[in-house]
Amino acid sequence: MNESFGARLRARLDACGPLCVGIDPSPALLSAWGLDDSPLGLERFSRSVVEAVGDVAAVVKPQSAFYERWGSRGIAVLERTIAALREAGTLVVLDVKRGDIDSTMAAYAEAYLDRGSPLAADAVTLSPYLGFESLAGAIASAVANDAGVFVLARTSNPEAAPLQRLVADQVVAGATAANKGHFPFGPVGLVMGATLPELEHSPADLNGPILAPGLGAQGATPADVARLFGPVRHAVVPSVSRAVLADPKRLRSRTITLRDECAALLGVVAQK
Torsions phi, psi for 237 (to 5 deg): -125, 95
Q: Residue ranges of the alpha helices (H) in 191-250? A: 222-228, 242-245
Q: Give the residue numbers marked as catalytic.
A: 97
Residue ranges for the chain with pLDDT beneath 50: none
Q: pTM score, two decimals?
A: 0.96
pLDDT of residue 267: 83
Instruction: Provide CB contacts within 8 A for 65, sequence distance 6+.
Output: 95
Q: How far is CA 177 from CA 139, 172, 173, 233, 267, in A?
A: 12, 9, 6, 20, 27
Domains, the chain, ordered by start: 5-266 (3.20.20.70)
Give tens-digit pLDDT for 25-61. Answer: 999 999 999 999 999 999 999 999 999 999 999 999 9
Q: How far apart are CA 225 and CA 267, in angstroms?
A: 12
pLDDT of residue 111: 97
